[in-house]
Amino acid sequence: MKIIKRNGEETVFDEEKIVNAIKKANKEVFDGDKLTEEEIQAIADTVTDKGRSMIRALNVEEIQDFVENEIMRLGKFALARKYITYRYSRALARKTNTTDDRILSLIECNNEEVKQENSNKNPTVNSVQRDYMAGEVSKDITTRILLPPDIVRAHEEGLIHFHDSDYFAQHMHNCDLVNLEDMLQNGTVISGTLIEKPHSFSTACNIATQIIAQVASNQYGGQSISLTHLAPFVQVSREKIRKGVEEELRLLGVENEEAAKEITEKRLREEVRKGVQMIQYQVVTLLTTNGQAPFVTVFMYLGEAREGREREDLAMIIEETLKQRIQGVKNEKGVWITPAFPKLIYVLEENNIHEDSQYWYLTKLAAKCTAKRMVPDYISEKMMLKYKIDKNGEGHCYTCMGCRSFLTPYVDENGKPKYYGRFNQGVVTINLPDVALSSGGDMDKFWEIFDERLELCHRALMCRHNRLKGTLSDAAPILWQYGALARLKKGEPIDKLLYGGYSTISLGYAGLYECVKYMTGKSHTDEEAKPFALAVMRHMNDKCKEWKAEHNIDFSIYGTPLESTTYKFAKALQKRFGIIEGVTDKNYITNSYHVHVSEKIDAFTKLKFESEFQSLSPGGAISYVEVPNMQNNIPAVLEVMKFIYDNIMYAELNTKSDYCQVCGYDGEIKIVKDKDGKLVWECPKCGNRDQSKMNVARRTCGYIGTQFWNQGRTQEIQDRVLHL
């Protein structure tokens, strides 16, 4: 049995420490209030049994809560007071150096919570540790100075989650759609150096990767770029190559139009290949200032390009992107594996979704890529045009920011739709199961508590907004002055971009399944429980409309991609309400509106069901289906893709892509329990459990993680059932 110390370090549980702590308090009370040796040992044994039954590592505070409860159960209230007083005085003493302890523990790689906080960060790397050190300082300042005490308390108790508090001290926003078109066509400035319009496709790709790195270092969320913005530079390279070919042929005394064209296109293909390879490898190998590869999504939408040559060139780029992703990247052993980034999104549209469509060959390639490398994910143009309608009544199709955060439709002062260059201000998530459990199952009380918690989220979101308000463009020139998001003047505040719908701010939610399960006794897939689930969703949307009218800020509902927070929320629920079957008996809670990972449901029923809830999450959501190895069944993948096109706006297929560096096994690496009950990853062929000697890729939050996960998320991965 393991416990988590206050500094985040995981260590073996020692029952004797409980015995010694009670004995110290025992000495401070009169004989009639003392416990016998047998009673002290009985308490220690009971606490140990409770800890083992929790199927996860408890933290020290939880152990001490158990001890207090057992002392009071025996009626030794004076002793309990002494124990509580001693505990409180120790807590006061620790307050002066808690941040120091946590920083020192993460530098020595002993902080188990931080080590598993982000599945795309390697906590042993200096740059990651430096980011975590800064994060600890930021969190300390945030909790002590920047946020109201009740919001801090609600966050710490798991009633809400104030996202990215490790970056809140700085004036940074969440995620965005990079206006790559503006930066490439009109030039930009990177690190004080003027970058003019590129004169070739390969140069455009190189500049794009530099922009991606710069943007990632000036925000804390995901970013998205469109391949459409690179497509015009294919023609620039074509013309440049053609001139060179014609000159070569002239020198050889040859005049052959067909030969010139053929050689040009062959060389152009090679440049496109190298340009795409540059983007893939630079994104994978770049380390931003927060110690990880840039969290970037690459958008592939044929309908975004002008018909004719530009669209054909975009198709060429998309084809090369998919081919290279199917191949993957090499690990340190030289074996091709699945990279986490860039995330790819492929739009399903009328000109690529049917067998007789012009670009059906790209869709087949996308299916093959998904079966092997888990990307691309899919947006249905058909469904998105229905959901994303602007004030002029026109529907639009565009990419999310990062993994799932979607902008709301927006029309600029010229009456034109605008998406690139916009951003999200931040997220605060409500713990829906806690609302339900706090109500005790009383429906009237549920709605009353729900409103109280939503107002708490409202105030927390306004803290996020006000932290950005007054920020000068100088804080991040690449974003605010040089085209990524705007071209403001030096010294100009970004305030005008925070209002009127230009940017969004997100009310996240998690655990709809557990919330409904507790209040109705049924899964939200049950026809009797579904109306309540939909009512919860509509109520959050109504609140966002109220806040938008009050502040002129675009509040929107966001299906939170919980990663480490799923474990945090689960632990908080267990601490407050104990173990309740089907509600708090897991070390995770369900992401957003998703069907519970263990619920048996087929892929098509799941996607159809979740589509209703996705439409009620305008600020962002993604659905998925869990599938086995589909590399030899591409027709089935294509059938799922066709179903996505007709039924749901945004979805993905989850498969497995692992490799054991010890024995060369390239099947699914399994999750097993070690002797202490901890979930660990094990190669089924050779038994290797060394995470540094295996490559495991799993999608956990809309994007792929490759640096492993905390115990809550690991259990969730283990519990997943196949939908196909």
Q: What is the pLDDT of residues 204-241, one digit of tens each?
A: 999 999 999 999 999 999 999 999 999 999 999 999 99
What are the start-end ranges of the H helices in 469-600? Answer: 477-480, 512-520, 530-551, 565-577
Helices 634-647/603-614 angle, 10° precision? 30
Helices 257-285/309-327 angle, 10° precision? 50
Predicted pLDDT of residue 140: 85
Predicted pLDDT of residue 84: 75
108-135 average pLDDT score: 62
Q: Is residue 98 predicted with pLDDT exceeding 70? A: no
> Cα separation of 170 and 154, whole Å?
22
- What are the distances in angstroms from CA 63 to CA 17, 80, 302, 401, 713? 11, 14, 57, 41, 22
> Cα separation of 344 and 325, whole Å?
9
Contact 499, 550 (CB under 8 A): no
Q: Is residue 497 predicted with pLDDT exceeding 60? A: yes
Predicted pLDDT of residue 637: 97
505-532 average pLDDT score: 98
* Greater model confidence, 100 or 434: 434
CA 49 to chain centre: 35
What are residue 500's phi and psi, to 5 degrees?
Answer: 70, 10
> How confident is residue 619, by pLDDT bands cut at 50, 70 and 90?
very high
What are residue 194's phi and psi, to 5 degrees?
Answer: -70, 130
441-470 average pLDDT score: 98
Instruction: Using a pLDDT cut of 90, give the percent of the chain over it.
Output: 71
Predicted pLDDT of residue 709: 81
Predicted pLDDT of residue 332: 85
Predicted pLDDT of residue 57: 77
380-405 average pLDDT score: 95
- What are the distances in angstroms from CA 205 to CA 225, 229, 542? 11, 10, 43
399-405 average pLDDT score: 93
Q: Is the dihedral of CA 624, 626, 629, 635 positive or negative?
A: negative
Lowest mean per-residue pLDDT among 2-16, 206-220, 316-330, 501-515:
2-16
Predicted TM-score of the model (pTM): 0.87
Structure tokens at 164: 């990215």
Structure tokens at 526: 């049950």
Predicted pLDDT of residue 8: 64
> Cα separation of 435 and 224, whole Å?
34
243-252 average pLDDT score: 95
> How confident is residue 422, by pLDDT bands cut at 50, 70 and 90?
very high
> How confident is residue 700, by pLDDT bands cut at 50, 70 and 90?
confident
> Cα separation of 12 and 68, whole Å?
21
> How confident is residue 595, by pLDDT bands cut at 50, 70 and 90?
very high
Kindly list the catalytic residues: 174-175, 401, 403, 405, 424, 558, 563, 702
> Cα separation of 510 and 562, whole Å?
8
645-673 average pLDDT score: 93
Q: Is residue 289 predicted with pLDDT exceeding 70? A: no
Predicted pLDDT of residue 75: 87
Q: Is residue 718 predicted with pLDDT exceeding 80? A: yes
> Cα separation of 506 and 459, whole Å?
12
Structure tokens at 402: 């990062």
Predicted pLDDT of residue 464: 97
> Cα separation of 412 and 500, whole Å?
10
User: Which among 97, 431, 565, 68 has a CA at the least distance from the CA of 60?
Assistant: 68
Q: Is residue 397 predicted with pLDDT exceeding 80? A: yes
Predicted pLDDT of residue 113: 57
| Residues near 197 by beta carbon (within 8 Å), at least 6 away in sequence | 184, 185, 186, 187
Q: Is residue 76 predicted with pLDDT exceeding 90? A: no
Which H or E run contains 482?
none
Give all domains of the chain, ordered by start, each with its CATH number.
Answer: 1-96 (no CATH), 176-387 (3.20.70.20), 423-590 (no CATH)
Lowest mean per-residue pLDDT among 80-94, 253-267, 664-678:
80-94
> How confident is residue 449, by pLDDT bands cut at 50, 70 and 90?
very high
451-469 average pLDDT score: 98
Predicted pLDDT of residue 284: 86
> How confident is residue 606, by pLDDT bands cut at 50, 70 and 90?
very high
What are the start-end ranges of the H helices in 57-179? Answer: 60-73, 77-95, 98-107, 112-115, 126-141, 149-157
Cis before 417 (ω within 30): no
* Residue-averaged pLDDT of the chain: 91
Predicted pLDDT of residue 117: 54
Q: Is residue 288 predicted with pLDDT exceeding 90? A: no
Q: Is residue 7 predicted with pLDDT exceeding 60? A: no
469-496 average pLDDT score: 97
> Cα separation of 446 and 438, whole Å?
8
Predicted pLDDT of residue 326: 96
Predicted pLDDT of residue 688: 96
> How confident is residue 61, by pLDDT bands cut at 50, 70 and 90?
confident
Q: Beta strand pairing status for 58-59 and 2-4?
A: parallel
In 10 A of CB 86, how many CB atoms? 14
DSSP character string of 353-399: SSTTSTTHHHHHHHHHHHHHHS--EEEEHHHHHHH-B-TTS-B----
